[in-house]
Amino acid sequence: MGRFASMARSLLLVGAVWCGPMGASTRLPEALAGETPADQAAAVASTTNQKNRYLPRLTLLAPRGKDRDQFPVGSSDSFAGQRWIAPMNDLSAKWAELQSRILSERETLAACHADEGHCPAAARRFIAIIEIARQRQGRARLGEINRAVNLSIRPRSDWELYGVDDFWSSPLATFSIGAGDCEDYAIAKYVALRESGIAPDDISLVILRDLKRNINHAVVAVRQDQEWLILDNRTLVLVNVEEARHFEPLLVLDDHGARAVGTLAFRP
């Protein structure tokens, strides 16, 4: 009971991710006024913001399988530690809703390949990043996606863009605006990595606690040659998880859904 009480006292607010200091306030272009992602954001966020205010700590890379959300587990993965897996119904629903928007955008990408002349500008920019990345191998592919996405998006908060605490934007919506917060960078990289040929089980979107800055942050973790690397919008350098001991994972989202944990550190 003492351990669970300690865990309860240490719950972190992760419904909205504060990605660190942002630049000056910005307005959406007039061309995007009216029917903007803000309309969509308001509908999605209104039903999830309050539910997602307080969430348990989360795990990275929990074992695949039907029982992964039911009991404590151990692992030899680079992200492994002593982990308590918990169902994340609300977060899973939010992640699933985002996946449906990403699926719709994949149809747009497919249409662009079939008819480039009628391809939206945002889709053309996103496809260009994917195509260049496909020409590279290994770490070079990961580095290209990290660099290109970082340089394509201006850092802006969800409040500045959408007027809500927390909204997860799909890649083409983010590229249409050209701005987003750290979650939007991470989502765009997650999809670009998938589209470039990285296996689903080798990619995770991770919401973590940056202990140095005392803020929550979102990154993408990718397995390359049995090494897990972090793609971060605050740097062009790929960081090995074993070197990122100031990062404490809170949430992991991937092709298998969302998972929760009590204690975990980036260590072998």
DSSP character string of 67-119: TTTTS-B---STT-SSB-----HHHHHHHHHHHHHHHHHHHHHHHHHH-GGG-
Q: Between the CA of residue 191 and those of 120, 203, 236, what are the distances in Å?
A: 18, 10, 18
pLDDT at position 169 = 97
Residue-wise pLDDT tens digits, 200-252: 999 999 999 899 999 999 999 999 998 999 999 999 999 998 888 889 888 88
Q: What is the dihedral of CA 214, 222, 102, 250, to 10 degrees?
A: -30
Specify the range with the lowest mean pLDDT, choosing from 122-131, 159-168, 185-194.
159-168
Tell me the average pLDDT across 179-204: 96
Distance between CA 110 and CA 252 in Å, rounded? 28
pLDDT at position 154 = 97
Model confidence at 35, pLDDT cuts 50, 70, 90, reads very low
pLDDT at position 7 = 31
Specify the range with the lowest mean pLDDT, choosing from 37-46, 107-116, 196-205, 223-232.
37-46
Distance between CA 63 and CA 267 in Å, rounded? 17
pLDDT at position 28 = 38
Model confidence at 256, pLDDT cuts 50, 70, 90, reads confident
**Under 8 Å between Cβ of 266 and 241:** yes
Specify the range with the lowest mean pLDDT, choosing from 31-40, 132-141, 168-177.
31-40
**Under 8 Å between Cβ of 267 and 242:** yes
Distance between CA 138 and CA 242 in Å, rounded? 19
Tell me the average pLDDT across 70-94: 48
Distance between CA 112 and CA 110 in Å, rounded? 5
Tell me the average pLDDT across 28-37: 42
Distance between CA 221 and CA 227 in Å, rounded? 10
In the chain, % of residues over pLDDT 90: 50
The pTM (predicted TM-score) of the whole model is: 0.72
pLDDT at position 116 = 84
Model confidence at 170, pLDDT cuts 50, 70, 90, reads very high
Which CATH number does 55-259 carry? 3.10.620.30
Q: How many CA atoms lie within 13 A of 255 on its CB side?
A: 14
Tell me the average pLDDT across 106-113: 95
**How many CB atoms within 10 Å of residue 170?**
23
